[in-house]
Chains A and B, each alone.
Chain A
Amino acid sequence: MDAADFTFRNASPPPSVELRDARLTYGDTPLFDGLSFRLPAGEWTCLLGPSGVGKSTLLRLIAGLVRTDEGTGAEIAASDGHPLSGRIAYMAQQDLLMPWLGALDNILIGYRLRRERVTSEVRQRARSLLARVGLKGRENDRPGTLSGGMRQRVALARTLMEDRAVLLMDEPFSALDSITRLRLQELAVELLAGRTVMLVTHDPLEALRLGDSVHVMAGRPVIVDDPIRPAGNPPRPVSDPQLLTLQGDLLARLARAHDRGEDTA
């Protein structure tokens, strides 16, 4: 099979994404107050933190899914100066597959939503992507007949089909059993190589295996600390001894973040 089918096709290299002066209040409490955050170009940036601290909100803010007004908003810019709209793909914890469509048509939903023509070439690419995530022969199967792991693989193929430079993933693997999760993580790293990725997760080990940098978010208003940068290329093997050491460090940070949240809440 031709590897070129799956690598990033856009001619320009992926940009880094800079978020500046993010503001958002939830009720009366300021959630973000002048928060800045950066996604380095072509790297995986992982974000951890206690539940409800605003990880998903930050991701949705970058994705343009939060309605902005005077009290809410941020300056979001890509390093190459072009607007981010149309260059972002989003993957959520739920697979968000359409239950009435077969796997192949689910992958093509972006084309349909943009009224782009689904040429035989496009269809062929969708087929090979489906084969690449290990679902050859399941093209016409509806999500209801696929397992949770298979559905999330279809969702990954759909994300790849969009061929966007920046990927925003909100706990995409958290609903899966551990072995399925490990395999899908490896597949994602392989297939998303060369793109700018932001991954929100609850799983310290996942962050340390996949992230080029790992951040912890905490407090009200939110502060993002300096990242941990594990050595070696992702996906790092689970048996890598540095992961254990770093995991201890990261868990300590998370515990502190958790306590800080309790204090201000």
Chain B
Amino acid sequence: MMRVARPLIVFGGLIVLWQVLVWATGVQRFILPSPRDVFGALVRDYDILAWHAWITVSEILLGLVTGSLAGAATALCLAYFRRAQRWLMPVLLALQAMPVFALAPILVLWFGFGLASKVVMATLIIYFPVTAAFYDGLRRTETGWLDLARTMNGTRWTTLLRLRIPGALPALASGLRVATAVAPIGAVVAEWVGASAGLGFLMLHANARVQTDVMFAALFVLALLSVALYFAVDKILRRAMPWQADTLPSEEREA
């Protein structure tokens, strides 16, 4: 019960604080709209917001799927083929150091104003954390398991399949959680650079017309979607790995 109530109390408190701030300072509506204005915009432009949100969600989800698949596949290649590791690793490290956001204008140029450029952007931004996390997991297989597999005459392939991959799934899950958190950033940045739809596009559009309340409403919807997506993915991952019980240091009792 308190688990649900606590965040609600915190958010409620913040909104009250915001409203008080607007009343107390008498700030202009186009600088900082009050929570009531934003709520009004949410109700009024419900259909527009929903349509643009749908576009952004599609971009994020498609990006998540392609980025995760590409990342996982790369990690597997790196772990299995020594040659791939030698040739690809330096390239990946160099690429990872590059700011992906700087690519957004080029991506829009190449893939157009539609869905494709945003999906590519989200894919790219997800690709590295997933690859890094999964590869790390694949390398850190419990050495005792590998000893066991050798005495059982397992091959490199079956050892990968039966021990390394399942053993690395918790690490992959961490990568996917990070990916889920950053995917919306990729989609929205690409929308800012050039788009004809999506919450990022809507925000720019409203900004140009000084509809600050709509901007805030779009931001609110984006935040809500991102949080919902994160919790959904987290829940799915936990369900998929029931053997992975988590413990927090804060829950430990002093000995």
Contacts and interface: CB of A to CB of B under 8 A. Distances in A.
Given A65-B151, A144-B243, A113 B142 contact: no
Contacts of A110: 152, 154
Contacts of B241: 100
Interface stretch (A9-17, A85-93, A175-183): A85-93
B147 interface: yes
B163 A98 contact: yes
A142 B243 contact: yes
B134 to A, nearest CB: 16
A100 B151 contact: no
Given A90-B148, A92-B144, A112 B243 contact: no
Nearest to B145: A96
A86 B153 contact: yes
Contacts of A109: 148, 152, 162
Contacts of A100: 166, 169, 241, 243
Interface in B124-178: 142, 144-145, 147-155, 158-159, 162-163, 166-167, 169
Interface residues of B, number: 24
B91 interface: no
Given A112-B158, A114-B158, A142-B243, A162 B150 contact: no
A100 B166 CA distance: 7
Nearest to A168: B151
Q: Size band of the A side of the interface? A: 20 to 34
Contacts of B245: 144
A96 B144 contact: yes
B151 A115 contact: no
Contacts of B166: 98, 100
Contacts of A88: 151
B contact face: mostly helix, strand, loop, or mixed: helix
A201 to B, nearest CB: 18
Interface in A59-116: 60, 63-65, 85-86, 88-90, 92, 94, 96, 98-100, 109-110, 112-115
A90 B158 contact: no
Contacts of A64: 150-151
A164 to B, nearest CB: 8
A85 B243 contact: no
Contacts of B163: 98, 113
B144 A115 contact: no
Nearest to B245: A144
A110 B158 CA distance: 10
Interface in A166-210: 168
Contacts of B152: 89, 109-110, 113-114, 162
B150 A65 contact: yes
Contacts of B142: 96
A142 B149 CA distance: 19
B147 A92 contact: yes
Interface in B52-94: none
Contact of A90 (B147, B243, B244): B147
Interface string B195-230: 000000000000000000000000000000000000
B158 A85 contact: no
Nearest to A162: B152
Nearest to B146: A65
A112 B162 CA distance: 7
Which of A94, A98, A162 has the most chain B CB atoms inside 10 A of its CB? A98
A64 B151 CA distance: 8
Interface string A144-176: 100000000000000000100000100000000
A109 B244 CA distance: 20
A63 B151 contact: yes
Nearest to B142: A96
B139 to A, nearest CB: 18
Nearest to B243: A99
Interface in A9-63: 60, 63
Interface of B: 142, 144-145, 147-155, 158-159, 162-163, 166-167, 169, 241-245
The 9 A-B pairs with the shortest beta carbon distances in the complex, nearest first, are A113-B154, A90-B151, A110-B152, A99-B243, A96-B144, A113-B158, A100-B243, A100-B166, A113-B152
19 contacts: A65-B147, A88-B151, A89-B151, A96-B142, A96-B144, A96-B148, A98-B166, A99-B243, A100-B169, A109-B148, A109-B162, A110-B152, A113-B153, A113-B154, A113-B155, A113-B162, A113-B163, A114-B152, A114-B154
